[in-house]
Structure 1
Amino acid sequence: MDPRDTAPDSWEQEDDVEATIDTQLDPAFTALNVNAKPFVPNVNAAEFVPTFTMKTNSDNLDSSVAVEKIPTTEVSESIDPVENGNTEMTTEEPWDQKEAEPNEEEPGGGPDEDRGPAVAATMEEPAPEMMEEEEEMPVPKIPPTQPDAPKKEHINVVFIGHVDAGKSTIGGQIMYLTGMVDKRTLEKYEREAKEKNRETWYLSWALDTNQEERDKGKTVEVGRAYFETDKKHFTILDAPGHKSFVPNMIGGASQADLAVLVISARKGEFETGFEKGGQTREHAMLAKTAGVKHLIVLVNKMDDPTVHWSLERYEECKEKLVPFLKKVGFNPKKDIHFMPCSGLTGANLKEPTDMCSWYTGLPFIPHLDSLPHFNRSSDGPVRLPIVDKYKDMGTVVLGKLESGSISKAQQLVMMPNRHVVEVLSLLSDDVETDDAGPGENLKLRLKGIEEEEILPGFILCNAENLCHSGRTFDAQIVIIEHKSIICPGYNAVLHIHTCIEEVQITVSSEAQPVFHTVTF
């Protein structure tokens, strides 16, 4: 108990208590430096500003001022191997050496012995800053494609053939095999098709997006999709096979560079499509008249139980088709290529199959990739026949660029009404771009014309080289099949590329019948 906490019995006892306390304080006071200079605060000292830059001069501290040494064990343990601030580090000492020897003593007794609490605090603060810098380091990225890199060649492929031959199924299978449709989406289509008892139709739903088309299993409009290979960019045009939608098929064939005639090898189905009135014959003839020069014949459904990848059935279909295609105008040796496949299983579309070892050619997609380049002129006059048009924040037109090149802000002329328009934006297969070349399927947003002033069949041209227009022309016609009599005054529907017009036939002489347009 402290003697001062109890009351003394007498004055003499109080003097004894004070003497005892003095003897206890004597050792503590004897350790003090009585000759030390009195502390005088420097009101003119510069304000302390922490810095995070390296300083090579270690003599910034005033050696004439005595600084009381404080224990800095905890601070030194939390300091990073490399500190900012007034760290004594020579310019010759590399960073990696400083990190490798964090506990090495430096001249002048080390950083912890020559600094007060303020300096130690500045050395501890930069650690979070350094961590943030490390987190913000850019992650290596794949170098983007150079803008001057050449674009892949665009090829438009139209799938034609008799109804239920498997055109949409093959198109959907190609989309899946090339990664344009993921597995989850395909499984969703498969579940929905099973609910409607249409298990084998799910692949066609990748192209038949209309609910009516899915319910009836028949393509009505020309379906559009695209896929890419190592060398080329392909646009799929899925034409309807039903005879009621032949005009739509003609519109799709007029945009194609290559036609794929799909026939069914199943017993009875090939014969139905190839007989008179079947769409196999009509589609092949219409594709040729639309300007398609190359034809690939896919003998589909080779996995059917009635076929079993039979070489005999394959050769039978081939022998019946070749004479007719030759009559239409295709060269069997140069323009036609036959190959077996199965659209439902994907056999021989991307990878060869062991089921038909007798077929030694390339599968369908590799064969497309190996085709020679099409002769197109990017320096020629601009020719873009209009396929469709609609309003979307302005006037938008769709079409395939046949020749020339188009860029944003370019001035063009809409023929035949000679409207001068400006290209506000253009999309190639739904991808926005600044310029486009021949063969690309484009959407153009135009300025200077209203949507009501455009009809399918109009043509965009450059002002320096306009296309010709007329109301009367001479034509040589070939009548394949017709039930009624054709005579002067006969009214018909004329398809010229994407243009559809009602015409009347007049005869100037018996040798040269003349088509005379009425509404154009």
Structure 2
Amino acid sequence: MTEGDPREHLNLVFIGHVDAGKSTLSGNILYLTDNVDKRTIERYEKEAKERNRESWFLAFIMDTNEEERAKGKTVEVGKAQFETDLKRYTILDAPGHKNYVPNMIQGASQADVGVLVISARKGEFETGFDRGGQTREHAMLAKTLGVSYLVVAVNKMDEPTVQWKKERFDECVTKIRPFLKSCGFVIKREVKFIPISGLSGANVKDEVALSECSWWKEYYTSNENNTSAPTLLSLLDTLEIAGRDPEAPLRIPVLDRYTDRGIISMGKVESGIIRPGMKVTIMPTRNKYKVDEVWANEDPVSGARPGENVLVKLNGAKMEDVRKGFVICTDPPCRAVDKIICQIAVADMPDNTPIMTAGFQCMFHAHTTEEECTVAKIFETTNAKGVVVKGARYVGVGMRAIVMLDLAQTVPLETYEHMAFMGRFTLRTEGKTVAIGKITKLPPKRD
């Protein structure tokens, strides 16, 4: 039994508009890191040709179910692993189509780094950004769901309308920066920009040839846009994830569970260490179990640290005892509450209700949980100019507010200050992300 691989593990989520080339890029990464053999690729190439989608064969590696291949869109969050000499990675290939945003939330809630893939092709970049485009919503979700870094991969640089022109890359970067800033990213610290071709593999594992692109070497050696690595993989290797505390109490939000000679729960270790033999408490039910076995990336391990995607077998648990959104804890366990006081930033509202008032209902998404909620009370609002209104009657788009939310059932949560990954959330309704927020206060403990 191993303690697990000593190399740090990162979850990557690829996000962006539906045709920006996320699946093709992730498929090519797997191919370039020798995780898919040539024969499989040839099979996919042939299949893609038969469906008249020749340039899609790399995407087929990630899109494994029939519905996706026929449509050429990624629906479930696909999972695939690769490694470099320094780190291990799991790609969560998130869907980019409008109707699939809830899937994207599930994927991103486990992600450490977001790779925002945008297309440099004339017209495509612009479509991803207009009001109905996916790029906006995804970048915002990535921020709320807690990715530590966002790598903006400007894809399709080898396209005939682009031809690795520096002007087009700069144009895309200039347009996207203010928008990412408005999502709450600290550009200088958390965002990196890199030009790539997901199809040819240029700047993915190996640097683009000087003959194709003369300006890139000078660009990254002078650390322009705080990006000093030549390729996407070398850039990922340089990212340091803060706040992973193996000493803290254990927290594993459950993403799913299934039966295999006992109940196996899936999730990512957010804090603490899980080991076979230890006693854990499941929140919100407070049931206690002994951990029988732990697997990290399908291998049995004697311990798993923060950042690992794990499977956990709990002794004596039944299917109804463990659900998506429950949290596996060691003492002191997290709180389970049905009311929270929080700060929210309203980003968008449904067409028929342009403002948020007390009584507004929507879905509350935090870590792996989702629950119906109601805005119970608005304490104060702050508009874009910084004007504060105490006891305000409504919150409009672009405003920040302190509100109380009532949740339909108790949900395992913490304040953002205490454990950030258990204290941030999004509010969604009618297919839109209406607000992002963080929990500032929980009701007093009842003993």
Q: Does 1:391 align with 2:295?
A: no
Match of 2:53 in 1: 198
Contact 1:419/1:449, CA 8 A, preserved across alignment: no
Q: Alignment partner for residue 492 of structure 1, among 351, 358, 362? A: 362
Structure 2 counterpart of 1:194, which letter? Answer: K
| 1:147 to 1:282, Cα distance in 2 relative to 1, 3 A | closer
Match of 1:245 in 2: 100
Instruction: Spell out, residue by residue over 1:450-479, the C-alpha distance to the aligned partner (whole angstroms, 9 max, x if none).
Output: 1123221110011x3211111101112211
**What secondary structure is seen at the aligned counterpart in 2 of 1:460?**
strand
Report the Cα distance in structure 2 between the residues aligned to 1:265 and 1:506, rounded to whole angstroms.
Answer: 44
Report the Cα distance in structure 2 between the residues aligned to 1:422 and 1:183, rounded to whole angstroms.
Answer: 44
Q: Alignment partner for residue 348 of structure 2, among 458, 481, 496? A: 481
Contact 1:396/1:451, CA 8 A, preserved across alignment: no
Matched residue count: 374
**What secondary structure is seen at the aligned counterpart in 2 of 1:519?**
strand
Report the Cα distance in structure 2 between the residues aligned to 1:221 and 1:149, rounded to whole angstroms.
Answer: 27
Shift of 1:434: 2.1
Structure 2 counterpart of 1:245, which letter? Answer: Y
**What secondary structure is seen at the aligned counterpart in 2 of 1:318?**
helix
Q: Does 1:357 align with 2:214?
A: yes
Give runs of aligned pairs for residues 139-158 of structure 1, distance below 5 A.
Answer: 151-158=6-13
Match of 1:516 in 2: 406
| 1:147 to 1:290, Cα distance in 2 relative to 1, 3 A | closer
Shift of 1:287: 0.8
Report the Cα distance in structure 2 between the residues aligned to 1:194 and 1:284, rounded to whole angstroms.
Answer: 33
Contact 1:423/1:447, CA 8 A, preserved across alignment: yes
Q: Alignment partner for residue 187 of structure 2, among 319, 328, 332? A: 332
Q: Alignment partner for residue 199 of structure 2, among 336, 339, 344? A: 344
Contact 1:389/1:456, CA 8 A, preserved across alignment: yes
Report the Cα distance in structure 2 between the residues aligned to 1:244 and 1:455, rounded to whole angstroms.
Answer: 24
Report the Cα distance in structure 2 between the residues aligned to 1:298 and 1:508, rounded to whole angstroms.
Answer: 39
Give runs of aligned pairs for residues 327-476 of structure 1, distance below 5 A.
Answer: 327-354=182-209, 355-360=212-217, 361=220, 362-462=230-330, 464-476=331-343
Shift of 1:209: 0.9
Contact 2:4/2:301, CA 8 A, preserved across alignment: no
Shift of 1:368: 1.2
Q: With CA pairs under 8 Å and 6+ residues apart, which has the higher RCO, 1 or 2?
A: 2
Q: Alignment partner for residue 257 of structure 1, among 103, 108, 112? A: 112
Structure 2 counterpart of 1:478, which letter? Answer: A
Shift of 1:148: 7.4
Identity of aligned residues (%): 49
Shift of 1:496: 0.8
The structure whose Rg is larger is 1
Shift of 1:193: 1.1
Instruction: Spell out, residue by residue over 1:368-399, the C-alpha distance to the aligned partner (whole angstroms, 9 max, x if none).
Output: 11223544111211000001111122111110
TM-score (normalised: structure 2) = 0.81
Report the Cα distance in structure 1 between the residues aligned to 2:271 and 2:344, rounded to whole angstroms.
Answer: 27
Across the aligned residues of Structure 1 and Structure 2, the Cα RMSD in angstroms comes to 1.6
Contact 2:117/2:152, CA 8 A, preserved across alignment: yes
| 1:386 to 1:251, Cα distance in 2 relative to 1, 3 A | same
Structure 2 counterpart of 1:416, which letter? Answer: P
Structure 2 counterpart of 1:436, which letter? Answer: A
Instruction: Spell out, residue by residue over 1:310-353, the C-alpha distance to the aligned partner (whole angstroms, 9 max, x if none).
Output: 11111111110001111211122111111111111111100011
Structure 2 counterpart of 1:495, which letter? Answer: H
Report the Cα distance in structure 2 between the residues aligned to 1:150 and 1:452, rounded to whole angstroms.
Answer: 33
**What secondary structure is seen at the aligned counterpart in 1 of 2:311?**
strand
Report the Cα distance in structure 1 between the residues aligned to 2:196 and 2:113, rounded to whole angstroms.
Answer: 18
Q: Alignment partner for residue 501 of structure 1, among 361, 365, 371? A: 371
Instruction: Spell out, residue by residue over 1:221-265, the C-alpha distance to the aligned partner (whole angstroms, 9 max, x if none).
Output: 111111111111111111110111111111111111111100001
Structure 1 counterpart of 2:360, which letter? Answer: Y
Contact 1:419/1:448, CA 8 A, preserved across alignment: no
TM-score (normalised: structure 1) = 0.70
Match of 2:387 in 1: none
Shift of 1:147: 5.6
Contact 2:245/2:271, CA 8 A, preserved across alignment: yes
Shift of 1:432: 2.1
**What secondary structure is seen at the aligned counterpart in 2 of 1:471?**
strand
**What secondary structure is seen at the aligned counterpart in 1 of 2:110?**
coil
| 1:147 to 1:412, Cα distance in 2 relative to 1, 3 A | closer
Instruction: Spell out, residue by residue over 1:191-219, the C-alpha distance to the aligned partner (whole angstroms, 9 max, x if none).
Output: 11111112111111111111111111111
| 1:181 to 1:190, Cα distance in 2 relative to 1, 3 A | same
Shift of 1:155: 0.9
Contact 2:2/2:301, CA 8 A, preserved across alignment: no
Report the Cα distance in structure 2 between the residues aligned to 1:266 and 1:295, rounded to whole angstroms.
Answer: 21
Report the Cα distance in structure 2 between the residues aligned to 1:499 and 1:275, rounded to whole angstroms.
Answer: 30
Contact 1:169/1:204, CA 8 A, preserved across alignment: yes
Contact 1:222/1:252, CA 8 A, preserved across alignment: yes
